[in-house]
Each structure stands twice: as C-alpha cells, then as structure tokens.
Amino acid sequence: MSAVSATARKLAVIIWNMVVNNTPYINPEGYLYLDQKRKLAVQKRIQNQITKFGLTAEELSFVSH
C-alpha cells in the first residue's frame, strides 16, 4: 500500500510542476524499447572493459570500412 501511495505522490509532484511551471515532462532515459536499452547496456559494459584493460583497436582487430 505504501508503494502505491509513494508512486501516486511522485506522479502528483511531476504533474503539479508541469502545470505550475508550464514545462513539459522530459523522460531522463528517453523513449527506448527494452531490447534497445539492453543493447546500450551491453555496449557500455564492453566499453568499460576495453577502457579498464587498456585495449586498442588493433588488439581487438576492429576493421573500419
């Protein structure tokens, strides 16, 4: 029950600020489908590992056309 109340309050605050300040709501995560979010997470994880281990494009055998 408390989770429902908390969610309702958050929505009420968002709507109140939109009406009072006359500003549109901007979703911080954007509007992506779940599979798109998963792909971005995988890309980010791979990039972090590349940075962590100091790998270069030559070591990874990337070919750019």
The answer to whether residue 17 is domain-embedded is: yes
> What is the reported pLDDT for 1?
82
> What is the reported pLDDT for 12?
94
> pLDDT tens digits for the chain (65 residues)?
889 999 999 999 989 989 999 988 777 767 778 888 899 999 999 889 888 988 877 777 766 66
The answer to whether residue 15 is domain-embedded is: yes
> What is the reported pLDDT for 62?
66
Number of folded domains in the chain?
A: 1
pTM to 2 decimal places: 0.43
The answer to whether residue 65 is domain-embedded is: no
As a whole number of angstroms, the distance between CA 48 and CA 54 comes to 10
Range of the domain at 26: 2-60
Tokens 């709501």, residue?
Answer: 25
- Helices of type H across 22-56: 34-53
| Residue of 34, 33, 35, 15 lying closest to 25 (CA atoms) | 15
As a whole number of angstroms, the distance between CA 39 and CA 25 comes to 25
As a whole number of angstroms, the distance between CA 10 and CA 4 comes to 10
The answer to whether residue 23 is domain-embedded is: yes
The answer to whether residue 26 is domain-embedded is: yes
